[in-house]
A and B are shown apart, each in its own frame.
Chain A
Amino acid sequence: MPTKPEETRHEMPREMPHEMPLDQRPTLLDVRDLHVHFALRGGFLDRLLGRSSGAVKAVDGVSFTLRRGEVLGLVGESGSGKTTTARALLGLAPITSGSVRFDPDGTGPIELTKLSEREFRALRKKMQLVFQDPHASLNPAMDLATAVAHPLRIHKMAADRATIETQVRTAFERVGLTPPDQYLHKLPADLSGGQKQRAVLARAIMLNPALLVADEPVSMLDMSVRAKILELMLELKRDLGLTYLYVTHDLATAKFFCDTIAIMYLGRIVEIGPAAEIYADPKHPYTRALLAAIPEPDPSRVTARRLPRGEVPDAARPPLGCSFHPRCPSAFEPCGWETRDLHALLEQRWTKVSEEQYERERALVEDPVEMDDAGLVAKLADSRSGSGAAAALVDEMRADDPAEPLWRGVASIDPKPDGVEVAFNDPVDPGLLDAGPVEVACHLHDARFAALSSKEGRRPTP
């Protein structure tokens, strides 16, 4: 009599003491100082002369630990590097430097970055990926039974046909595609979004993985079924002893799903800690902004929220100091104010003043394009040398909006014969600091700057 698939699938008993506190559970995945850089292609001449044209630091020193049975939420906007981080762990993005130690069987960590492609492939059975778009991740010409059994064939774990079919049926039942007979020979096009995502989950658990990386698994689904898929994923985690890395932009779903939250911005983790703590007392201004931006389905709660201005900056030319400073309502002296910020402020001013005033001011100064490069001294030239117009304009900008955080970063404003030079404080790169149960990369929580950050004039945080 053939062994029941239930038992063969679980060759290793996964004792997952769910009551055990997170920090006492064994480590499944340990990521240290992970960097993924993509070289930029320069012009023809640059390439001919072998000149480097810089790199995009998609992931710029990310560290975290994932313990068995934990759900870690990697949260950020597009361009934050969350997906690149997840892909790098699975060997789908080239790791520039850093260490990824994976211990799927509890037999000791294996350093993934040192493995050959062949050795890695064997380990990849233990880590599976669920993509955002269930429609795009299923082959439209493959029926569900074939699709779900596909990993077995790829990893040459396929036994005889009968065993495969039993395993597929078990997986279907597990993800709620019941009765399996009704779904085995359907094509993806015959299914709803939620059913497709169930099939993708069935395929992901086929190889009995230890780690499931889920990249926005519910963002393409209708509101009415998101909760159902999240519940299913929690069920699978409990029954199969899975560990999740949940990649998302949505702090609302992460709240129900994650034990730990890591907030990413422009390739770095800016805040990481227990989920309950992050939601109850967000420390980083970016985390606060993300939480405040989630639309609430309650019109009576709509208040005039202050939103961070602008968008995620170009990763090829990141801001100096803290990457979030140009958008941050609480930024102050050491945050890395620079020439580009003054340019942005000037452009912002010109969207607000009257058209006549814009025309007049525009004529007084030279085109401020030079301020578009990173630097600590901004030079705004008079269009008529010696008129002093540029200096007057900077003074007026400051007088019109003295509460603007940029002015706190200004070290000096020096009128020159042909314009004005605005010098900024030296930028300080924020590292992750201990702030109670969480770690946060923000100067507001740095004791060195306590005197400055509490100084009067700081805008209240949103």
Chain B
Amino acid sequence: MKKTPLYETHQSLGGKIVTFAGWELPVQYQGVIPEHTATRTKAGLFDVSHMGEIFVTGPEAEQSLQYLTCNDVSKLYDGKALYSAILNERGGVVDDIIIYRYNKEKFLICVNASNADKDFAWFTKHNTFQAVYENQSASYGQIALQGSAAVSIVKKIPELASVAELAYFHFKEVQVAGATIIAARTGYTGEDGFEFFVPVACTVSFWNMLLEAGANEGLVPNGLGARDSLRLEACYPLHGHELGEDISALESGLGWVIKFDKGDFIGKAALQAEKTAGLKRGLAGFFVTDPGIVRENQPVFDAAGNQIGITTSGTKTPTIQKALGMALVHTSHTKEGSEIFIEVRGKKLRAEVVKKPFYKKPA
């Protein structure tokens, strides 16, 4: 099992350690509900050091990423980031990623913890361009600061204050205590905030610095449990749930990041054919209207009792305070107001398809 630089810090903060994607991380400290609520009302601090960092450099770095991922990398400029996905030939998702452009010949890719080695092997296998991929995951810790108080917290730290000027999905490097920190205005919670890539030697001190600066702002450490309930309320997909190698990226709802007009990329032909034929399934968000909680991998039926899909995620979330979830279902039942039935422990619970996302941060 791998440990992040913050392992002992989590223990001293009362973190309940579990194993996730081969890493030992806290699922919670004081509790999923108060942690989630703190992020929605003030701010939360997340150890996301298990995520992977792959650098791509070379004269054809952009072309390589254009071919190996589905979004249009040519739309990036220096200091801008882009959500994208690595697709396989069938149009399934190898991983969803964020690409950060330093310049035309240097990019950083943030990948899911569970897929870091797989993604690097995939890039290595399929890269036929004049570009070099380097897996630097072992060199970086990562910390996310999320919530409406995130900006006032960074402004308390002189060396970090300038990141408050970053626009959404932009990034820059800053020097903090002699170390180079990559700061990005990105996040996985549906709140404003930042994700910081920190060299492993400085991860603990950077965490403590943020925790101290946020002490009077209501900043609370958040474990994996709250990370999941927050992203679910915002309807952000999770690989292994809404996204997978055997699920069409279009069915998963990634159509908005698949750019068919940009030139060839792995998965383009399969998805183009699917688009022409018409999608069979879609990702629906739902509220459970019968008493009960729905989770992932539970079969979904129509009113006549035919199975029409499967759930991908679900729980009762702290802010929305309803049993809700997402499911991959036949397109006949993806429209708002559709009635579906989800089988939980042998009992069918009625649910209603609703508009996504469940939660949108106040303007």
Pair from one complex: no
